[in-house]
Amino acid sequence: PLTVEVFPDYAAMSGRAAEIVVELLQEKPDAVLGLPTGSTPLGFYDALVASGVSLAQARTFNLDEYLGLPRTHPESYYSFMKRALYDRSDLRPENCHIPDGNAPDPHEECRRYEEAIRAAGGLDILVLGVGHNGHIGFNEPGSQWDARTRVVNLAESTRRANARFFNSLDEVPRQAITMGIGTILEARRILLLASGQEKAPAVRDMVESAPTPDVPATALQLHPNVTVLLDREAAALL
Ligand code: GLP
């Protein structure tokens, strides 16, 4: 069963996530961090920056990136990471990894990305959010559990959920590069963050359903070291 910790509010949940990562960095300054995007981890990044911890030796690998958006597009996950962390920390640019959504050969880019994670020694910790349909990274329902980093089609519901960041639904990319569930499960430790009542059903399914590819986050039940950090609203259906 997954270890679940419930916090009174979003700030407390975010602070706890940052504290766990800071403790890891104090022990291992060159730790390899797997990092998410989305609204959920913004408070985590704020708390990590506020802690003043040095990331000068850390290596980071993001979970996913849209396919076909220029890096400079404000809604690319690269731009998100620049705003949330890269520009606010002492991370070295050469240690910040994120799939290149504009690579001439996206499938080759996926292979290269997997190899880069392996060459870094694997992920010491991976921080995740969860989608309304239980997706992790961009592993939509039906994803194989041994899948590696690959090109995926986005579910219409995911495109609609992310349309709030674009001028119209039409502008939301239809594909992405994401770490696979197999890649995710190889991280040595996983933190999953969820906040708000709209995530409560996905959180309940993730924690209480038998593992099923219909709810990708249930794959985390197979991992020996996952901590689920929730605010009260996200935990409401447990
Ligand atoms: C996006 C990302 C996921 C993220 C999820 C939830 O599509 N690919 O990594 O966990 O949706 O996002 P949010 O935190 O904004 O609810």
- The ipTM is 0.95
Average pLDDT over residues 65-85: 96
How far does residue 62's CA lie from ligand 1's centre (Å)? 12
Instruction: Taking residues 211-232, report their average pLDDT.
Output: 98
Question: pLDDT band at residue 1, thresholds of 50, 70 and 90?
Answer: confident
Instruction: Check whether 127 has a pLDDT greater than 90.
Output: yes
Record the tokens describing residue 72, joined without a space.
């400079």
Query: pLDDT category, 99, cuts 50, 70, 90?
Result: very high
Mutate to test the pocket of ligand 1, among 10, 35, 37 (most ligand atoms within 8 A of CB): 37
Give the pLDDT confidence of 177-208 residue by residue, as tens digits.
Answer: 999 999 999 999 999 999 999 999 999 999 99
pLDDT band, very low/low/confident/very high, at 109 (cuts 50, 70, 90) = very high
The rounded Å distance from CA 29 to ligand 1 centre is: 27
Q: Where are the domains of the chain?
A: 3-182+205-227
Angstrom CA distances, 51 to 81, 121, 212, 224, 236, stand at: 18, 26, 38, 28, 30
Q: Is the dihedral of CA 118, 122, 127, 132 positive or negative?
A: positive
Cα separation, 156 vs 79, whole angstroms: 23
37 Cα nearest atom in ligand 1: 9
The residue from 65, 109, 124, 140 that is catalytic is 140
**3-state DSSP assignment of residue 3:** strand
pLDDT at 137: 97
Report the pLDDT averaged over residues 16-44.
98
Q: Based on DSSP, count helices (H) and strands (E) in the chain, helices before strands.
A: 7, 10
pTM for the complete prediction?
0.97
Q: Does domain 3-182+205-227 have CATH number 3.40.50.1360?
A: yes
Q: Which residues pair with 6 in a beta bridge?
A: 230
Binned at pLDDT 50, 70 and 90, residue 13 comes out as: very high
Residues with CB under 6 A from ligand 1: 36-40, 63-64, 129-131, 137-138, 158, 162
Mean pLDDT of 139-146: 96
